[in-house]
Amino acid sequence: VMMVLLLAIVAVLAVKSMTLPNASAGLKFYLLPDLNRVQEKGIWETIFASMSQAFFTLSLGVGSMAIFGSYIGKKRNLFGESINIASLDTGISLIAGLIIFPACFSFGVDPGEGPGLVFVTLPNIFNSMGGGRIWGSLFFIFMTFAAYSTVIAVFENIIAFGMDLWGWSRKKASLINTLLITALSVPCILGFNVLSWFQPLGKGTSILDLEDFILSYNLLPIGSLVYLLFSVTRWGWGFDNYMKEVNTGEGIKLPRAFKGYFQWVLPIIILIVLIQGYINFFG
């Protein structure tokens, strides 16, 4: 219910944002491709940025999709469900862009500021709306529930791992992981104050930057590559077993013509993304 209400508010905000002064400049910046900027940044860096976003937003490489896929009944087709998830995720991301970028150009905010934009542009939008305080309060309440659902999705795999490998109950696995998450979160929090002297990746960096590097530049692409190679090559599960499982149930079927793409093209792309990430970070 909370997610549906959040989506409803997001749709209202998108309409409101597109009616702000100078919103057209933001829409142009957001929706019209600029090949000059692609040439300036480089094609591989552009691909790296887009695939990194896909890895992150879909929780690829850390087991979240795999564990939830295992909970789906055999009547439902995994390939069809994957298309639904990717389509919904892409649609929500596009709508979020319709909120953020017109507001950036309307209120003079740099669109390159990163994830913190949501906390800069949205309050300005709420201030320009009738009953903005109510809209703003509801939005951030619903977004809090969305954040909790993301945490649950990410750590469900770890909890299931403890249950399957060591026979823990769900309550015990959840408690142990809560304690571990809390303990591992403390250095990140202290990295902005007590431990600010610790700059692991060079001057001006923090423990959060180190954790982001470990996750975004290593775990997500490497984890995705391992899952991919295990699923579709003879050194792991095998492509035939993969096809049998992914096409079980009603829905869209995955053609065997994708075998070469999964076994060769996609692994090469992920490797290039991994290497390009290191080049961008250390270059």
Q: How far apart are CA 139 and CA 132, in angstroms?
A: 10
Confidence of residue 243 (pLDDT cuts 50, 70, 90): very high
- Sorted by sequence, the CB contacts under 8 Å of residue 139 that are 6+ apart come out as 6, 9, 13, 122, 126
Structure tokens at 224: 């995705």
Q: What is the mean pLDDT of residues 36-64?
A: 84
Is a pLDDT exceeding 80 seen at residue 114? no
Nearest-Å Rg of the Cα atoms of the chain is 21
**Confidence (pLDDT) at 236:** 93
Q: How far apart are CA 249 and CA 239, in angstroms?
A: 18
**Confidence (pLDDT) at 121:** 79
Q: What is the mean pLDDT of residues 253-259?
A: 94
**Confidence (pLDDT) at 228:** 94
Is a pLDDT exceeding 90 seen at residue 146? no
- CA angle in degrees (0–180, nearest 5) for 276-280-283: 115
Block residue for tokens 């919904």: 88
Confidence of residue 155 (pLDDT cuts 50, 70, 90): confident
Mean residue pLDDT of the chain comes to: 89
Is a pLDDT exceeding 90 seen at residue 280? no
Q: Which of 10-14, 145-149, 214-218 has the lowest mean pLDDT?
A: 145-149
Q: How far apart are CA 233 and CA 190, in angstroms?
A: 44
Q: What is the mean pLDDT of residues 126-150?
A: 84
Is a pLDDT exceeding 90 seen at residue 167? yes
Dihedral of the alpha carbons of 20, 10, 108, 49, in degrees to the nearest 10: -130
Q: What is the mean pLDDT of residues 49-76?
A: 85
Q: How far is CA 169 from the centre of its chain?
A: 29
The better pLDDT of the pair 4, 162 is held by 162
Q: Residue 250 pairs with which residues in a beta bridge? A: 76
Amino acid, single-letter form, for residue 252: I
**Confidence (pLDDT) at 179:** 95
The number of folded domains in the chain is 1
Is a pLDDT exceeding 70 seen at residue 81? yes
Confidence of residue 116 (pLDDT cuts 50, 70, 90): low
Block residue for tokens 């090469």: 268
Q: What is the mean pLDDT of residues 137-154?
A: 82
Write down the pTM of the prediction.
Answer: 0.83
Identify the domain containing residue 80 by its residue range.
2-282
